[in-house]
Structure 1
């Protein structure tokens, strides 16, 4: 599995004030950042840190502390260089160090850079760009997502999480100027972030008033529990695979007088 994060700023005490991080001191911040990584990233996973592993005045004590933190990070560790990453940070025994990376995860092309970009390799073909650098200033756009710790509760994230967030972000208003005629699809699944064929949208499901319904007819497929309503915003489309998955989770309850039809993979009135 691949995990993505950016801008942890390990052992940088001033970042707490700069970004309003909810920690009493740098020791508490380091502990939380490290705990989140160690709780999620497994030894065979890839951890991509998109810049600014640390920052601030480079004293001998800080270097020793940051080196110690580095050696306790799990997984295969990759650094995409940030503007605060000095040569001694680059020289740590990373599995890879680069200015940018162009990778494929779960058949989705990803372009990794410390900085947000307007266009990038693969952007014309639904490639997604991941970045950091801006901390809380910008979440990103439909195809360019901030993976910094300040907007992800100080934890690394996976591609499905990133895709779900991307699906709810606006298209960059400059996109048509830099890539004219390359319209970014506006119909994405709210569950997994996959691109839905606009010509077939009427056959997809859509979230309406706490229910997943057939977009074309309004027929109820399933009623969502409170927590799931927050996960699937009003008006968003849902692909058939995700719709089937939501029928199996505890937060989902079928409407009264409905049963689940295995063949049709949807709720239907009893007796029909």
Structure 2
């Protein structure tokens, strides 16, 4: 894709993933601090809408809702969320979820953020397009079970305190983390 075709990220773009709305099992599996799924879903919506304006863009890095949640229930939650919502498809995003009014849907997408390529994919990658040219990678899927580093970030709610974050907020957090080589080993400094 030529650089002029990249979507440029600014302060109105947010990143989040793995909301798993309606997924009772995620509470124990990811040790989420909720006593029930209704409370969980209410907090995810409240937290989202507390930072995202209706005109902001939200990149959801997959697993929006549990694949066994009725589409009508997942759709009702989708409609409550502020922003222009864009989906990077995860393994629990059913055909019904993909039919929601997403502004775009992608298996993988590269954006431009502060002049740097930003590769979004639901799954964490050891290398990604532009890896050797300084590109960054945002992912979901791991529920805070893999370390984030200076060039790779887990956008899942488990890692981000159940709130969407801007590129600037994520970049500040990444700057304090170690650099990893392609095999996941910290690079000595």
Q: Provide the TM-score with structure 1 as the length reference.
A: 0.61
Measured in 2, the distance between the counterparts of 1:73 and 1:105 equals 24
Cα deviation code 1:29-77 (max 9, x no counterpart)? 001000111111112211000000012424xxx3221100111111110
Measured in 2, the distance between the counterparts of 1:94 and 1:30 equals 19
Cα deviation code 1:115-160 (max 9, x no counterpart)? 1111112222221100010002013222111111001110001111
The alignment status of 1:29 with 2:29, answered yes or no, reads: no
Q: How does 1:1-272 map to 2 (within 5 A)?
A: 1-58=12-69, 62-174=70-182
Q: Is the Cα–Cα contact under 8 Å of residues 12 and 26 in structure 1 kept in the other structure?
A: yes
Runs of 5+ unmatched residues, structure 2: 1-11
Cα deviation code 1:187-212 (max 9, x no counterpart)? xxxxxxxxxxxxxxxxxxxxxxxxxx
Q: CA deviation at 1:170?
A: 2.2
Q: CA deviation at 1:167?
A: 1.6
Measured in 2, the distance between the counterparts of 1:105 and 1:76 equals 18
Q: Is the Cα–Cα contact under 8 Å of residues 139 and 151 in structure 1 kept in the other structure?
A: no
Q: Name the Cα RMSD after superposition.
A: 1.9
Q: CA deviation at 1:175?
A: 5.4
Runs of 5+ unmatched residues, structure 1: 178-183, 187-272
Measured in 2, the distance between the counterparts of 1:149 and 1:76 equals 18
Q: How many residues align?
A: 176
Cα deviation code 1:190-237 (max 9, x no counterpart)? xxxxxxxxxxxxxxxxxxxxxxxxxxxxxxxxxxxxxxxxxxxxxxxx
Greater Rg by CA: 1
